[in-house]
Structure 1
C-alpha cells in the first residue's frame, strides 16, 4: 500500500509543500499581529500622537479600542493553545 500511496500522492507533493509554507507564513503573521509587546508599543505611539495633536481624540480612541481588542484576542488564543 505504501508504494501505491507514493505513486498516487507524488503529484500532490508540490501542493502539500505550498500549503505548509502558507501555514508557516500565516502563523508568523498572526504571532506578530497579536504580539503583546508590539501592541503596547503601538498604544504608546497612539498616546504620543494624541499628546502631540497629530490625531484627534476620536481617532486615538478608535485605534486604542482596536489595539486592546487585538491584545485580548491574542491572550485568548494563547490560553486556548495552553489547554
Structure 2
C-alpha cells in the first residue's frame, strides 16, 4: 500500500507544498497583526498623518479602529476577509 500511495501521491506533492507555504505566510501575518510594537508604530503613523493634515479626523478614527480590530482579530477586518 505504501508504494501505491507514493505513486499516486507524488503528483500532489507540489500542491501540498504550496498549501503549506500559504499557511506559514498566514501565520506570520497574523503574528505581525497582533505584535504590540507593530500596532503601536502604525497608530503613531496615523497620529502623525493627522497632525500633518494629511488625513481628516474621520479617516484617523477609521484607520485606528481598523488597526485595533486587526490586533484583536474581530470579524470584518482585513484579517477576517
Q: TM-score range by the shorter chain?
A: 0.7 to 0.9
Equivalenced residues, count: 74
List gaps (5 residues or longer) in structure 1: 75-83
Normalised by the size of structure 2, how large is the TM-score? Answer: 0.74
Give the structure with the higher percent helix. Answer: 1
Moved over 6 A (4+): none
Q: Does 1 or 2 have the higher relative contact order (CA < 8 Å, sep 6+)?
A: 1
CA shift digits 1:15-73 (9 cap, x unpaired): 11121122222222222233221111111111122222221111111111111111222
Aligned residue in 1 for 2:79: none
List gaps (5 residues or longer) in structure 2: 75-81
Aligned residue in 2 for 1:26: 26
